[in-house]
Amino acid sequence: MMRIGIIGMGFMGGVHLNAWQQNRYADVVAVCDANPIAGKTKGNIDAGSDELNLDGIHIYTEIGAMLSAEKLDAVSITLPTHLHKSISIQCLEAGVHVLCEKPMALNVEDCNAMMAAADEAGKELMVAHCIRFWPAYAWIKSVMEQGCAGEVKSAEFSRLTYAPVWSGDSWFSDQSKSGGIALDLHIHDLDFIQHLFGEPDAQHSDGLRLENGAVGHVVTELKYGAGKMVRATASWLMPESYGFRMAYEIIFEKLTAVFDGHELKIFPVDGEAYTVELDPGDGYTEEINYFSDLIRGAQIKTEITTEQARESVRMALETMKL
């Protein structure tokens, strides 16, 4: 069994723990958090069990102590974004494979440093862009690869929620730590758009600012030549009672696909509308199963490269030039 550690036991730490505990090739043997772990932090997405199962798991408050004591094969890094670079490098230098939460880092230079550290260590570094693995989104990619729906004419993605409030020290609202809405929220759809269509020829964003001056709502149009319209919207303007909704509408030549966050409906040019029976599971368990296969040599890296994760950071930073 592979020995896994998780660093940062807030909202995403709990999500990764739950996903790793469903993986049959791995044991989570240690977790680390600088603060006491009170229980599972609830974020804006309902992701698996409400309980943290820490039975038999060693708990650390210091990363170096965990790395030297535990002989880990891999870690999940689920820390605030401004720590992704330094802690990924520390873990890679300790000879451990790294699955790092998105965004990869706060800027392209930090991504480059992480990639160099992974090369130097000869270890895997994967960025957890879970949307690529989410069944309703993976469905689009597979339909495009099969070619059965024709070309995409228009693709619109949206991700609407309230500003993150669950973190103890409010690091999300500090743009120098989180990168703001662009690197935290919008990047999910920008990364997925890159996954579908590659790097855009050009992109343009418009947005609205919150009272504190930070961007709280952003709409980006991405150019991929004539005959295709691609657009993404991210918002932190929704009331907390709205929760979270990710959705899309894709117009292919032969059908239109509409995902409302729960159900994927297809409206064919010829025939009646129908609902797609999606694969069970969520993007988190799928991405962790993929990473597990990657580090035990049962998978080659195809779904997400570090170059693509770095490009998603670049695209997200570009959207801040409003």
User: Closest-CB residue for ligand NAD?
Assistant: 10
Question: What is the smallest separation between the CB atom of 103 and ligand NAD, expressed in angstroms?
Answer: 6
Query: From CA 43, how far away is CA 29, in angstroms rounded?
Result: 24
Question: What is the smallest separation between the CB atom of 164 and ligand NAD, expressed in angstroms?
Answer: 6
Binders in 17-76 for ligand NAD, by CB under 6 A: 32-35, 41, 43, 63
User: Which residue in the set 4, 5, 6, 10 belongs to the binding site for ligand NAD (CB under 6 A)?
Assistant: 10
* CA–centroid distance for 62 within its chain: 25
Our CA dihedral for 255, 260, 264, 266, rounded to 10 degrees, sits at -20
Determine if 210 is a binding residue for ligand NAD (CB under 6 A).
no
CB of 171 or CB of 267, closer to ligand NAD:
171
Binders in 73-92 for ligand NAD, by CB under 6 A: 78-81, 83
Determine if 224 is a binding residue for ligand NAD (CB under 6 A).
no
Q: How far is CA 234 from CA 2, 67, 210, 215, 262, in A?
A: 37, 37, 13, 10, 18
CB of 91 or CB of 115, closer to ligand NAD:
91
Question: What is the smallest separation between the CB atom of 55 and ligand NAD, expressed in angstroms?
Answer: 19
Determine if 303 is a binding residue for ligand NAD (CB under 6 A).
no
Instruction: Draw the binding track, 165-194, toward ligand NAD (x: CB under 6 A; -: no contact).
Output: -xx----------------x----------
Structure tokens at 199: 């790097």
Q: Mention every residue, 6+ apart, whose C-beta is less than 8 A from residue 174.
A: none
* CA–centroid distance for 160 within its chain: 15
Per CB under 6 A, residues contacting ligand NAD are 7-13, 32-35, 41, 43, 63, 78-81, 83, 101-102, 128, 130, 166-167, 184
